[in-house]
Structure formats: C-alpha cells, structure tokens
Amino acid sequence: MSRSAHPAGPRHADVLPEGHYSAPPADLNTLDPKVWAQTVDRGVDGVVRVGGVDVKALAEEFGTPAYFLDETDFRARARAWRTAFGQDADVFYAGKAFLSRAVVRWLHEEGLNLDVCSGGELATALSAGMPADRIAFHGNNKSTEEIHRAVEAGVGRIVLDSFQEIVRVAHIAQELGKRQRVQIRVTVGVEAHTHEFIATAHEDQKFGIPLAGGQAAEAVRRALKLDGLELIGIHSHIGSQIFDTSGFEVAAHRVVGLLKDIRDEHGVELPEIDLGGGLGIAYTSADDPREPHEIAKALTEIVTRECEGARLRTPRISVEPGRAIVGPTAFTLYEVGTIKPLDGLRTYVSVDGGMSDNIRTALYDAEYSVALVSRTSDAEPMLARVVGKHCESGDIVVKDAFLPADLAPGDLIAVPATGAYCRSMASNYNHVLRPPVVAVKDGEARVIVRRETEEDLLRLDVG
C-alpha cells in the first residue's frame, strides 16, 4: 500500500527472501523526520525522546506496549489544515482515525469540526464539549436510535448514505419538530490507487449512492421533497492513503456535474460540497505526502474551475482528513521479548504487543518502519520481521525492516506513524489488553486513554 521500493539486499543472505524492504539505511540510528512526529529526536545519550521526554522514562512510567502521541505535532497539523483551507472552507477531522476526549478538546481549540460515524463517536464528541453544529454524522447503516440522538443533539449535518436513510432521517427530524441539514453521499466511480478495502468511490461497494444510472439524482429529488430535511450539499469520499489529487479532480468534476443537473432540474444551487478525506502519510521513507496547503490549493482550484465551467456559484468546500492529522503524530513503543534468526530468511523479533494494537499490516498489507529507540547501535543491519505475541502467524507488525544485529531482549523499539487506525482498530484478541495512549507535550506526559486491565475484560464477561 505504501510505495516503498523493493530490494537492494540484506547483509545476511546471499539469496534475497521475498519481502518489501528497500536497502538498509546508511545509518540505523538516524530518524527520518518524514515518518516520526515533529518533536521526536535522539538525545545525546542515544535515547529517543518525544516532547522532551525519553522513551526509557516513558516505558518505566506507562509500561509497554503504549502509543505516545505528540500533542504539539497534532495541534500543528490540525492548525495547518485549518489555515490551508481558510475561512471559506471547513475541515472536519475524521474521528474514526483516533478519537478521545482530549483530541476533541484540541480540535475544538484549533477551530476544526468533527466527523463521527457511530453513536460512540458522537457520545465522545459531545461529552468533550464539541458544539453539535460542528459535528457531521456519517455511516452507511446508522441505527434509528443513533439518528434520533444526532438530530436531537442538533448535529450540523447528517450525511445520507441510502434511500432508506433519506426517509428515516426525515421522519425522525419531523417527529422531533426539526429540519435536519443533510448532505447526500455519492459514489463517483473513481478507482483510488489504494488497497481495495480502503478505496470507497468505485461502484461495487457498500458506501454512498451511485451517480451512475441516475440514482444520486433520484436521491436528491426525494430529499428535496421532504420537509424534515434541508439538503445542503453533496459528499464524496474516494478512499484512503491517497497521494495524488487526480482522483479528487475526477470526483469534483462529477459532483459538480450533479450540482449542475440539480440546478437545471430544480432551480436550486446547493451551497456545499464535501470531498472527504483520504490523504496519505509517510509510513516509510519511500512515501512522499503532500502538504495541506498544496492540497487545499489544488482542491479549491479544481472545484472553482469546474463550477466556473458549469456557471455555478462555487460552493463552500469541506474536507475530512483523519490519518493526515493524527497518523504521523504517534508511535507505538514495544519491548523486545525474543529474537529468532532464521538462516537465509530473516530474524523474527517478537514484541509485547502485535496485531491487537496494529491490525493494519495483517489487514491491508500495510508497511511500517521501526527503530531501536532505547540506545544507539553501530552493529550491522539485520533484516528483521517484527511480530507480536498473538497465536497467529499473520501477527506481523512490521513485515521487513532493518534493525541492528546486536538487538537484544529488553531493548525498546518503536514503530512510527501509528496515530491513525491503530488504537481505534485495536482488539482484545487472545485477551490481550489494549495499550494506553499517552499524550506528550513540553516535557510532560499524561495518559489520555488508559491501559485496559484484566478487570475491564472480566467486567464484560457476565456469564
């Protein structure tokens, strides 16, 4: 999924095993700022720090595995997106990437809005004080109860995803004596160049209402007729971990085409267009993500140009980055438990977490980097596979990476760029406890999501 190049070769085998690795870096002790959070550096003692706190102290205080989130970096990225899009656009952080009450407060303070896609995310957002009118509610099968709560709370918009939902939301809004602002999510038929499970705008999938065959136009017709709904715009999300804007270009073209048809048929110019999220981040040094201001410029130009061509007023644009804000801000810290060299293949390094704290490698064939962080080493690079402690051979955290050959049990290693879709997709497989998320800023570390305990597990088990 990431674009890391293929082999140049390990030092320990004449015949290269199958793998995703590139050449070993010249110096294993150097941390590539592209994949590590902004305040991460290596102290003069060789120990890696984040927000000025070293990982040995963090491991001592909070244990491993644990996610450490650089709050300064998170706020800076959120602000960069906000600033890049300016006052004429809205940035909705996609809470599915990682959500906690602290995160909601940071977003609120930095002037971002929030996209939620379940009752649980909505509850988290509201309980942390996000004003309801800055929340967008998503999902392809929102329950009646979730819709009720969202409308009652006064969310700024509900993104409608099916014909049934158009009627459901209208009905609930009317029952509550409200007129709910809604967008209709359409599938534009774009194949984003990403893993099949995270590409969402080709037609053969569960999200949205297809533009093709006039279904989206029919959805608009129905929504415009219902008193409980105020149709404010069209929504499109084409996928995730996308590096170029050409997919957005096609999506904007097709969405604006629909806006034009709506104007021609109903005499209404819808005031908003949402282009979703999906911008890629660097998981390895081979990835080259674009900066928010470049993306904002490109997307704004595309929409403006398309609207001019269609003689439409340019609608207010919104975007929904999740990964691009939180992804690079965190790393997972693990302690090395066992080390197994397999001749001619690679060395298996087992850590104290695994697929329960990062399912992305197993699920999407995702690539990650890794570094020894509790000390430096001048040893030769060895081709390693970082694996977890689960009873499953697919329990791989980093498929192929170079670590120093003197790596030993007790060393701390860290996997960067785990801020998005790691804690939020964490599981209790094998009754392993989900790790905490610790925010670090200006020399201070504080738990924002605590580590799960065995009592937590047993409390759910009421048999």
**Residue 99 engages ligand LLP in binding (rule: CB under 6 A):** no
Part of the chain binding ligand LLP (CB under 6 A), chosen from 244-252, 310-318, 322-330, 341-349:
322-330
Q: Distance (Å, rounded) from C-alpha 59 to C-alpha 179?
A: 51
- From residue 275 to residue 314, the character string flagging contacts with ligand LLP as x (rule: CB under 6 A) and all else as - is -xxxx-----------------------------------
Q: Which helix (H) or strand (E) holds 72?
A: helix 71-85
Q: Distance (Å, rounded) from C-alpha 134 to C-alpha 154?
A: 9
Q: Distance (Å, rounded) from C-alpha 439 to C-alpha 104?
A: 13
**Residue 155 engages ligand LLP in binding (rule: CB under 6 A):** no
Give the nearest distance from C-beta 324 to ligand LLP in angstroms. Answer: 6
- From residue 174 to residue 213, the character string flagging contacts with ligand LLP as x (rule: CB under 6 A) and all else as - is ------------------------x---------------
Q: Distance (Å, rounded) from C-alpha 57 to C-alpha 271?
A: 52
Give the nearest distance from C-beta 132 to ligand LLP in angstroms. Answer: 19
Token representation of residue 339 = 């080390």
Residues with Cβ within 8 Å of 267's Cβ and at least 6 positions away in sequence, in order, are none
Q: Distance (Å, rounded) from C-alpha 429 to C-alpha 406?
A: 31
Closer to ligand LLP by CB, 147 or 324: give it. Answer: 324
Token representation of residue 176 = 């509550």
Alpha-carbon separation of residue 411 from 69, 262, 338 (angstroms): 20, 61, 10
**Residue 94 engages ligand LLP in binding (rule: CB under 6 A):** yes
**Residue 323 engages ligand LLP in binding (rule: CB under 6 A):** yes
Instruction: Enumerate residues 116-145 that contact ligand LLP by CB under 6 A.
Output: 138
Number of residues engaging ligand LLP in binding (CB under 6 A): 22
**Residue 421 engages ligand LLP in binding (rule: CB under 6 A):** yes
**Residue 98 engages ligand LLP in binding (rule: CB under 6 A):** no
* 289-293: long-range contacts, CB 8 A cutoff, minimum separation 24: 289/243, 289/324, 290/243, 290/245, 291/80, 291/84, 292/77, 292/80, 292/81, 292/83, 292/84, 292/85, 292/321, 292/324, 293/80, 293/83, 293/84
Q: Which helix (H) or strand (E) holds 170?
A: helix 163-175
Interface residue with ligand LLP among 77, 346, 360, 390 (CB under 6 A) is 360
Residue 391 annotated as catalytic:
yes
Give the nearest distance from C-beta 327 to ligand LLP in angstroms. Answer: 7
Interface residue with ligand LLP among 80, 226, 324, 370 (CB under 6 A) is 324
Q: Which amino acid is at 30?
A: T
- From residue 37 to residue 76, the character string flagging contacts with ligand LLP as x (rule: CB under 6 A) and all else as - is ----------------------------------------
Q: Which helix (H) or strand (E) holds 401?
A: strand 396-404
Indicate which residue of 117, 307, 391, 422 is catalytic.
Answer: 391
Closer to ligand LLP by CB, 312 or 425: give it. Answer: 425
Closer to ligand LLP by CB, 359 or 372: give it. Answer: 359
Give the nearest distance from C-beta 151 to ligand LLP in angstroms. Answer: 19
Q: Distance (Å, rounded) from C-alpha 5 to C-alpha 442?
A: 36
- From residue 211 to residue 250, the character string flagging contacts with ligand LLP as x (rule: CB under 6 A) and all else as - is --------------------------x--xx---------
**Residue pair 50/39 in contact by the 8 Å Cβ criterion:** yes
Token representation of residue 95 = 């809470």
Give the nearest distance from C-beta 4 to ligand LLP in angstroms. Answer: 16
Give the nearest distance from C-beta 277 to ligand LLP in angstroms. Answer: 3
Give the nearest distance from C-beta 275 to ligand LLP in angstroms. Answer: 9
Helices 144-153/163-175 angle, 10° precision: 50
Q: Distance (Å, rounded) from C-alpha 274 to C-alpha 80?
A: 19
Give the nearest distance from C-beta 194 to ligand LLP in angstroms. Answer: 8
Which residues make up the interface to ligand LLP (CB under 6 A)?
A: 94, 96-97, 115, 138, 198, 237, 240-241, 276-279, 320-324, 360, 364, 420-421
Residues with catalytic function: 391
